[in-house]
Amino acid sequence: ARREDDRRIVNGIFYVLRTGSPWRDLPDRYGPYTTVYNRFNRWAKKGVWLRMFEALAERSPQSLQLIDSSIAARIKIVSHSVV
């Protein structure tokens, strides 16, 4: 099977986190919702998100002020939700 484009998948993940939308309601332009969810979940388990935030914080500590607490809460909730 062909691997979905990472940029498309990341945009889909951000869409769900930003809107609070269920994975199943993800617009088709982001790819199959199961793929987007599985990539989000796999990256969370591997610590990819944490490493990304740490790298951003190291390069620009002020940028973390832009991450609002509701997004952090959604990451926690969404990572435990069922597809």
In Å, how far are 4, 33, 71 from 56, measured between CA atoms? 25, 27, 16
pLDDT class for 2, splitting at 50, 70, 90? confident
pTM above 0.85, yes or no: no
Check whether 66 has a pLDDT greater than 60.
Answer: no
Q: How far apart are CA 28 and CA 44, in angstroms?
A: 23
pLDDT of residue 39: 95
Reported as a pLDDT band with limits 50, 70 and 90, residue 74 is: low
pLDDT digits (tens, 9 = 90+) for 11-60: 999 999 889 999 999 999 999 999 999 999 999 999 998 888 888 778 87
* Contact between 13 and 40 (Cβ < 8 Å): yes
